[in-house]
Amino acid sequence: MKIVVLDGYALNPGDLSWEGLKMLGELSVYDRTSGVFVVERCKDAEVVLSNKTVLGEKEFAQLPSLRLVSLLATGYNVIDTVAAKKRGIIVSNIPTYGTSSVSQMAFAHILEFCHHVQHHSDETKKGRWAENSDWCFWDFPLIELSGKTMGVIGFGRIGQATGDIAQAFGMKLLAHDVYRSDQSHRKDFRWADTAEQVLLESDFVSLHCNLTGDNAKMINYETLKKMKRTAFLVNTSRGPLVDEAGLARALNEGLIAGAGLDVLEQEPPGKDDPIYRAKNIFITPHISWATKEARSRLMEQTVENVKAYKAGKPINIVNK
């Protein structure tokens, strides 16, 4: 069985092992694959692994041996799942591997906003503390999370893990999801009937939604106007959930206090992306998923996906 990894570098820049996949077939690993090389590299492959490399009808039509596309990720919007199903190609994903890492990153942004750790460290190293008349100094209002309301839009695995952290800080929890699971074990928890209610009532809002045709740019200038002027927005989910032009305008006009983004509409962004010039924004380069622990789980589960397919019992199928 020929197995091809189209874009393996992000998952494994050298600190993990491909041995589990090598044991299952003839393995070829490419760090990155531009569109023009996809068909050439996947020729005669039965299994193709992709993270962000696009595969659609055009490619499938030229790959008659292909039987499984296994995503090195949870999201599968880069694959034309309908076209794959018509050709009898199974598409599988990794439904959960980065829950702890992503929720941790959401709070890394929140805590940076509350204390501006990097700024105060930089200023201390410049000598400002040594030169200060008092025994301490701060340049921003410092914020305590206890008693504040944490709003979570998208209350699946990662949203719930984010809620767990919030409640460990003593925060009240307000969540919205199209599917309501039993949360009776939680104190200071409420379901919001709409995403708008979360925006209206929360001190911090964290997005944990899948991207669909219905929720693209759900956070925009008009919806941001509904938030408290003291509120902070976090997006570690999908970049296109947020209209960045509207967010930049809202930040620059002081409609909300700040934002933390680990994902953007375009990735990687341009060097002169206007979002860089927004006030009170923290941007990290889509790394919430990328702890070694999370990537190790992703690798292990990818091996399980391919192993299950080889045994004739495929798992984690997204195009049934």
Rounded (10°) CA dihedral 32, 34, 38, 40: -100
The secondary structure element, H or E, covering residue 78 is: none
Q: How far is CA 90 from CA 18, 67, 76, in A?
A: 22, 6, 12
The answer to whether the beta carbons of residues 6 and 42 sit under 8 Å apart is yes
Residues pairing with 233 in the sheet: 205, 259
Known catalytic residue at 267: yes
Q: Half-sphere exposure of residue 28, counting CA atoms within 13 Å on the CB side?
A: 17
- The one catalytic residue in 115, 186, 286, 304 is 286
Tokens, residue 271:
């060097």
The secondary structure element, H or E, covering residue 191 is: strand 189-191
- The one catalytic residue in 67, 109, 176, 238 is 238
The 3-class secondary structure across 287-309, one letter per residue, is CCCCCHHHHHHHHHHHHHHHHHH
Helices 292-310/99-115 angle, 10° precision: 160
- The one catalytic residue in 26, 267, 293, 300 is 267
Known catalytic residue at 286: yes
Known catalytic residue at 144: no
Catalytic positions, written as ranges? 238, 267, 286
